[in-house]
Amino acid sequence: MIEFDTQPDRYQHWKLRVEPPLATLTLAVTPEAPAIGDYELKLNSYDIGVDIELADAVRRIRFEHPDVRSVIVTGGLDGVFCAGANIRMLAGADHPHKVNFCKFTNETRLELEEASRQSGVKFLAACNGATSGGGYELALACEHILLVDDRNSAVSLPEVPLLGVLPGTGGLTRVTDKRHVRRDRADVFATRAEGVRGDEALDWGLIDELAPRTGFEQAARDRATALAEASPRTTTGPGATLAPLERTLTPDTVTYRHVATTIDRAARTAELTVTVSPQPGWLLQAARELDDLLCHLRFNEPEIGILSIHTQGSVDDALALDRELAHGFADGVDHAARETALLWARVLSRLDLTARSLIAVIDPGSCFTGFLAELALAADRTYMLDGIFEDRDETLPAAELVLTTNNFGPLPMANGISRLESRFWGDRAAHDQAAAVAGKGLSAADALDLGLVTFTPDDLDWDDDLRLAVEERAAFSPDALTAMEANHRFAGPETMATKIFARLSAWQNWVFIRPSASGPEGALVLYGTGTRPTYDLRRT
């Protein structure tokens, strides 16, 4: 089982050194410490274990070190920055792991970019040697790329010519959409296995700066210092410690303090519940727990296809937390509040991007309020009970849905707009009607009339309607559902992020299962053997 919660003293592949206003992240992969198999992590190549540590380090810098304004990301091996994803891992991993691995690495790189854009933490890729594949993708996510000028070191995306796959799709997209490399040059670059070196890489816009080997470390430090001085990040309030998560696992349950799931393996479903509490620190703790659970379900429970989403607790408590979250988006707030609010935005985005059918269940005792209403708005379908359960706990009030300012912009999807705007894309009147009732408790009839829920059964039909919806969903092709849901969830404008994940779900998903890449004579399987792969030559 893959674990996603880690700490710097448990890192096996990264070293984090903090010297405010700078920090240094050094990649020195332990070759004999793979995450899922018996492959060797040569040449600073990485697997999911390496990237889990990177994700933790980036988040830890944001929360625990408010006085850090710039981070140097560099390689700890002589002549190698990073050789990218480990080929033996990719060749041996099953298909779901391959795709989830690419998705997780892209989410990590997007968080790094968000740290630069939203938190003022500027990242410098100090490429001290060969920078290929996913290693160059990591550099692309940084604010500035410095390459050693030694006539040998190159940047490259060699997946197409060498492996018969794509550079995680993030590499291809960032070259054109972020660095604005001309299309014909991007074509040459992505088909040239040896990559591009020195002045040519600088001229094409693949890097930002060159430095000779003799003065490389000082050049990196000087540039990082300049980035720190230009950073808008200000230290307001102390950092927040990211303590180890408390989690209990049984064969069919995963339980944290505020988040839990129960799995029905026969039905291929999981019931996820977020429980609201007025306990101090709830916002940060619950966000971290939900994030960890989503990663756990993706990687460790690939056959669970339907996720029903529940909340429970006081609506008043949920509204108080919603106001606290909104405060985190205001100007001049303390550091921890700001980062916690941004973390909720990222966790909700990870939910959007999770390849599971999402069904929100709004019933008595639930609190889909403000930012927690985003859990329902993220769902593919939403069921809300009309009235109360006559034969159950009649002390619970009828379910209600409450929208607040947090539902209208601060928590955007990957397409850069709110879930409500995506939901009502092309229907501005419906969006404005929803905005007009912000702050009001909406009954099932109100929510249905406003288009905020899908169905509102009464207590007589409730159980059967939910059961039939889940059973029908479970009977469909998981592949077809993944493609359908990815199309429906992201209405509206396309961004660099939606391009990356749509192409990952479609093109890379398809490429990974084709014999040209993963067949017995495919490029991934035969890489390094000296035998040329056999390709299916039909263009489809």
pLDDT of 252: 97
Element (H, E) at 282: helix 282-300
| pLDDT band with cut points at 50, 70 and 90 for residue 395 | confident
pLDDT of residue 466: 96
Tokens for 516, please give them: 């040209």
Q: Give the pLDDT confidence of 40-77 residue by residue, as tens digits.
A: 999 999 999 999 999 999 999 999 999 999 999 999 99
Percent of the chain with pLDDT strictly greater than 90: 91
Contacts 24+ apart (CB under 8 A), 282-285: 282/258, 282/321, 283/321, 283/324, 283/325, 283/340, 283/344, 284/240, 284/336, 284/340, 284/343, 285/257, 285/258
Residue 36 has a CB neighbour count (10 Å cut-off) of 17
- Residue 238's pLDDT is what? 81
Cβ-contact 398, 443 below 8 angstroms: yes
3-state secondary structure 350-380: HHHCCCCEEEEEECCCCCEEHHHHHHHHCCC
Position 210 pLDDT exceeds 90: yes
pLDDT band at 222 (very low <50, low <70, confident <90, very high): very high
Q: Which fold has domain 8-230?
A: 2-enoyl-CoA Hydratase; Chain A, domain 1 (3.90.226)
* CB contact set of 471 (below 8 Å; sequence gap of 6+): 267
| pLDDT given at position 239 | 87
The two tokens of residue 378 are 């993220």
In this prediction, residue 539 carries a pLDDT of 84
**What letter represents residue 473's amino acid?**
R
- Whether the pLDDT of residue 394 is over 80: the answer is no
Fold of the 248-489 domain: 2-enoyl-CoA Hydratase; Chain A, domain 1 (3.90.226)
- pLDDT per position as a tens digit, 330-382: 988 889 999 999 999 999 999 999 999 999 999 999 999 999 999 999 999 99
DSSP structural state of residue 72: E
| pLDDT at site 393 | 73
Mean pLDDT, residues 129-157 taken together = 97
* pLDDT tens sequence across 295-313: 999 999 999 999 999 999 9
Is-contact 152 94, C-beta < 8 A? Answer: no
pLDDT, tens only, 158-171: 999 999 999 877 99
pLDDT at 390 over 90: no
Domain 8-230 and domain 248-489 have a common topology: yes
Label each residue of 181-229 as H, E or C.
CCHHHHHHHHHCCCCEEHHHHHHHCCCCEEECHHHHHHHHHHHHHHHHH
Which stretch of DSSP H or E encloses residue 518? helix 515-518
Within a 10 A sphere around the Cβ of 212, how many other Cβ atoms? 10
What is the average pLDDT value for the chain, to the nearest integer? Answer: 95
Nearest CA to 148 out of 213, 96, 205, 199 is that of: 213
Query: Domain locations in the chain?
Result: 8-230, 248-489
pLDDT of 484 reads: 93
Is the pTM of the predicted complex or chain greater than 0.75? Answer: yes
